């Protein structure tokens, strides 16, 4: 009797649950809301450095602590975005061609992952600032690289890295936002 009652309960539960149809509808596609801060800047102008520029107030200047660090190498750290702009400085001493070649090699080694690489030149003759900004689209490790020089004495190279796996479509809002900061850095850069 108990077995029959148990079997009847199981069969009834299965029949009731299978005959009950629910209407389902697909969930709407949505995006994560990203609240970016307003673009505002402050001046980096250390007395010992041969250059100065404006950088975002939501970023921090850090000394580069790498083993191979040379004088005047710094990082601009974006804690909210887990990103860093690495800046390296080199004195030009009959080696401008080598510095430019190295800069181009470091950009174009990303062609394996980059879908497109474009270059934009910036010139400020009155301040002797000549720059090239490389934009790398796709899943390359860095979305921006640039170099700034006065063409006779000083050379700075920069690159942006996120401390996450490079997924261009996911990082695109952050790349666009920090890209504006990089352009501002280049436009406000000056030699001392």
Query: For residue 147, what is the domain's CATH number?
Result: 3.40.1000
User: Could you tell me if residue 41 is inside a domain?
Assistant: no
User: Could you tell me if residue 5 is inside a domain?
Assistant: no
**Percentage with pLDDT > 70 across the chain:** 88
User: Could you tell me if residue 30 is inside a domain?
Assistant: no
User: Could you tell me if residue 178 is inside a domain?
Assistant: yes
User: Could you tell me if residue 39 is inside a domain?
Assistant: no
pLDDT at 91: 96
pLDDT of residue 150 exceeding 90: yes
Contacts of 181 (CB under 8 A, 6+ apart): 39, 41, 55, 56, 59
Query: Contact 144/76 with Cβ under 8 angstroms?
Result: no
Q: Which range marks the domain in which residue 69 is found?
A: 51-191
- pLDDT tens, 42-78? 999 999 999 999 999 999 999 998 888 999 999 999 9
User: Could you tell me if residue 29 is inside a domain?
Assistant: no
Domain count, the chain: 1
């Amino acid at each position: 009797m108990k077995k029959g009652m148990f079997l009847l309960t199981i069969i009834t539960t299965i029949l009731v649950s299978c005959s009950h149809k629910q209407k389902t509808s697909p969930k709407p596609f949505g995006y994560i809301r990203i609240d970016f801060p307003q673009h505002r800047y402050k001046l980096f102008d250390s007395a010992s450095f041969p250059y100065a520029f404006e950088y975002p107030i939501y970023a921090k200047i850090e000394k580069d602590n790498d083993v191979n660090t040379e004088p005047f190498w710094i990082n601009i750290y974006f804690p909210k975005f887990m990103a860093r702009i690495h800046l390296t400085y080199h004195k030009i001493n009959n080696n401008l061609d080598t510095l430019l070649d190295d800069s181009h090699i470091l950009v174009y080694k990303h062609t394996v992952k980059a879908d497109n690489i474009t270059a934009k030149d910036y010139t400020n003759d009155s301040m002797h600032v000549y720059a090239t900004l490389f934009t790398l689209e796709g899943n390359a490790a860095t979305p921006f690289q640039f170099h700034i020089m006065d063409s006779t004495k000083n050379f700075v190279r920069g690159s942006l890295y996120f401390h996450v796996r490079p997924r261009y479509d996911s990082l695109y809002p952050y790349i666009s936002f920090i890209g504006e900061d990089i352009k501002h850095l280049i436009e406000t850069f000056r030699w001392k």
